[in-house]
A and B are shown apart, each in its own frame.
Chain A
Amino acid sequence: MANREFPIPVRGISESLPVDKAAPLTSGYINNVRPIDVLERRIRIGQRPGLDKAFDQQVGGASSPILLITTVSIID
């Protein structure tokens, strides 16, 4: 009979307390996961969403960082 639940560390990383006394629901070793999963947007931990391109165009053509993005609203 199962007698121990191992709670999912949905509260992220904690490095401020002893490893065996970490804050409840925290982890000492974690990367690229988020508490709200991408399948159902429920709090139960899962891999983070991936990064997708928003536009096909590469600003500047050559590989060069984008330094500013903003929006301007214009009356039609």
Chain B
Amino acid sequence: MALRFEYYNTNDDSASGFFGATWRAQTFTTTVGFKITSVKLLVYKIGSPGNLTVSIQGVDGSNKPDGSDISGLSLTVSPSGYTTNTVGAWIEYTFPTTTELSATTRYAIVMRTASGDIDNRVMPRSDISSPTYTNGESLTSVDSGSNWTAVPSVDILFEVYGTPLIPLDKVYTKRLVVIGNNEVWYEATVDRLDELLDANGDIDVTKPLTAAEGFQKLFIANQTNLKVLDFINTKITTSNVGANPPDFGTVLTSDGSGSPSMIVDYITSLSSSCTIYGKRTTTVIFGNNETLTGTDDDGNAISFTTSAVEVAPPHWYNWTVFGSNATFGTMPSSAYLICRYRGRIVLAGNPNSPHQWYMSKVANPWNFVYSSLDPLSAVAGTNADAGEAGDIIRALIPFGDDYLIFGCANSIFLLDGDPVSGGSLDEIDNSTGIYGPWAWCKDGGGNLYFWGSGGLYKMSGGRGRPENISAGHLPKWVTDWAADPSTYRVVLAYDPSRNGITVSRTTLSDGTNLNYWYDFKTQGFYPETYPDACGPFCAHFYDADLAARRRTLYGCNDGYIRYFEDTAKDDDSGAGDTAISSYVAWPIEHLAQDDDKNGKLTSLTIELAGGGTGGDFGDTDGASYRLYTGKDAETVLEKMKATTAWATGTVYAVGDLVIYNSIEYICITAHTADETGPPFEEPDTNTTDWFPAAFSSATLSGTGRKARIRTRLRGAYFGLKFYNSTASETWSINNVFGEVKEAGKIR
């Protein structure tokens, strides 16, 4: 149950090597007292450095290492297996004993190698560009630790782990896993993603892929690439597993020091050389050339010798049946849909059998022996009473252990219960399908939402008949989006902190996007646009250990993960920030009560959010408004929505609407826009041919109730638009009210 107590693990841009008499140190200051168990360093090696020693020392009056390793807090290891990739890899140095460190006390992590030179040394990653760690510093010694020199411009990345001085209830850790660009990254340390180098190039992002968590591993279905990311097992190897290989669940015990032991989970082969993955149940680790013994399921004695020291997780390997042996069944040759249901790993999306589904044995993802006799056995659509789905499967959506929904191309099927024990597969709707594996989400109440053939659907409780909840608001949504899986990805994401979902259509080729926010409180739809770099390709609610980090995450077009942040007034679009262009039109209303008469808006009062500036309520930034009038409501809306850019050489008719420098103009004299300028008789200066479409406009600043706006707006219908496209600004409005009088017949 080790926790991270102190750390500086970001912004590394260089490395601070050491060898021979040149030692490095990084001091840190404890916040609270704890029992230190290990430290982590982000390191790589050059050449073949000698054994590396990492230790903890106290500091002297100058905050430099005091020269004395704290008893039990020194570890010497061989760096032979370290990566030579200058990106480095986090290595954990677990000390032989745990020792209590005092609160608010400075200590030093001291690093040195027994031998080496400039071409053979260990390189811990460092931040050399204005590092921000303020509770310690890096130091260098050139005389084997006798004297130290502080290097304030550098901080070596580190993490210090330990156990608290009081017992904890928490016994698990959550890790984020991310896939993109044929690479797998994971949250090796809090707030930081690192690449799993072993997986580099093993994923093919040109093929569809999904993944499912199970048994402290991640199972990945990438068509023919079926992979496992294993966070829990220890890996041991042998050149000859002997005549009686271990079975799933076999306990193996070593004759090495301390008798390390493990429970076997998976083995790559049942004969000759193989790799064995199992949960080590002792703190003592497996060494090289140790003999492991046990008893297989048939009572036969197991005995083999390890060929290397054990390797700690995470591990990356091919997902096959146990021992890659047909005795344990046959997995589908290709699948891109996966989930976990009733303790089984479920696969679908085999292009050769698009209606088929496959389930592993309960609690054993390495067994695909299909049988109808054993209630725990693996099962597939072809050997179960439930049968195959009658349509091409596009999404697998489990609802706990109760039922599993198959979202298909043109229909929805529901598997109720366990297919080996009386479970049934029923078609619950044939009027719509589900767009794809990312085009659905669930809310906190167990309701399912998905993008289907008619728009956005809701299935109450996940098993009611799908209800189209968007058609009444957006009857043209499906037509406007024209979503086609070969061109667009549709992603739905539930945001529990804001009580709503986002529905995104992202262009596969360039990240351009159209989105809607559906709000559960108001049951309304709100269009949104994000920078192309932020186009969502996937989403996931990260229920992190730390409450401050629990949020809905979006995998974006440019390889970054983003989330919505209330304090962010712009979108972080990669290299910089992009201002958010926001606007809203008030309902367009007839000014006079008599439909045959005009109205006159004589004054308008607006209350911006924030009360008094700097008070208790959050202060809005400024917002601009425009007033419009027209004889009918649609004309008013057209004036507001003018988006056609003015262009030279264009023939314009009376009533044409254009936008120029973000202002709408209406043509009042038919003409052809000049091409022989400058000037080109642009609308802002050409008052003969153009007139502002808005009646008036202004920008409001400050908070609270603004000065009454005197206006002589006269017309049948009135339109009001608020907007802001200024960088680093956000806005909100409390109230809008005014004075209206009747004003003569409409002519």
Contact = CB atoms under 8 A, between A and B. Distances in A.
Interface of A: 1-16, 18-20, 22, 24-76
Interface of B: 1-2, 10-11, 170-183, 185, 191-195, 205, 209-213, 216-218, 229, 231-232, 471-476, 498-500, 511, 517, 519, 521-530, 533-535, 537-540, 542-543, 551, 553-574, 577, 580-590, 603, 605, 609-610, 617-620, 632-634, 636-637, 640-641, 717, 720-721, 724, 729-740
Given A5-B735, A11-B523, A52-B563, 4 more contacts: A28-B585, A54-B562, A65-B556, A66-B559
Nearest to B518: A12
Contact of A25 (B182, B587, B633, B739): B587
A65 B511 contact: yes
B181 A62 contact: yes
21 contacts: A2-B605, A12-B519, A13-B524, A19-B588, A28-B585, A28-B637, A29-B641, A31-B527, A34-B526, A39-B730, A46-B609, A48-B580, A51-B564, A53-B561, A64-B181, A66-B180, A69-B176, A69-B177, A73-B216, A76-B1, A76-B172
A59 B590 contact: no
Nearest to A10: B522
Nearest to A25: B587
B582 A7 contact: no
A9 B612 CA distance: 24
A8 B526 CA distance: 14
Contact of B232 (A60, A68, A74): A74
Contacts of B474: 13, 15-16
A66 B590 contact: no
B565 A44 contact: no
Contacts of A36: 498-499, 519, 521
Given A35-B526, A48-B582, A71-B540, A65 B555 contact: yes
Nearest to B586: A6
A39 B633 contact: no
Contact of B557 (A39, A49, A65): A65
A30 B538 contact: no
B540 A4 contact: no
Contacts of A27: 584-587
Give the most central of A4, A7, A14, A22: most B CB within 10 Å.
Answer: A4
Nearest to B534: A51
B180 A70 contact: no
Contacts of A73: 172-175, 213, 216
Given A7-B587, A36-B498, A43-B522, A72 B229 contact: yes
Given A30-B526, A46-B732, A65-B556, A74 B580 contact: no
B174 A33 contact: no
B503 to A, nearest CB: 13
Nearest to B163: A76
Contacts of A75: 171-172, 216, 232
A41 B511 CA distance: 30
A54 B171 CA distance: 25
B440 to A, nearest CB: 15
A31 B476 CA distance: 17
Contacts of B574: 63
A3 B603 CA distance: 10
A50 B590 contact: no
A20 B568 contact: no
A4 B114 CA distance: 84
A42 to B, nearest CB: 8
Nearest to B558: A63
Contacts of A10: 522, 524
A30 B582 CA distance: 8
Contact of A2 (B473, B499, B529, B603): B603
B529 to A, nearest CB: 6
Nearest to B217: A72
Contact of A30 (B539, B583, B617, B734): B583
A51 B568 contact: yes
Contacts of A39: 566, 609-610, 617-620, 730, 732
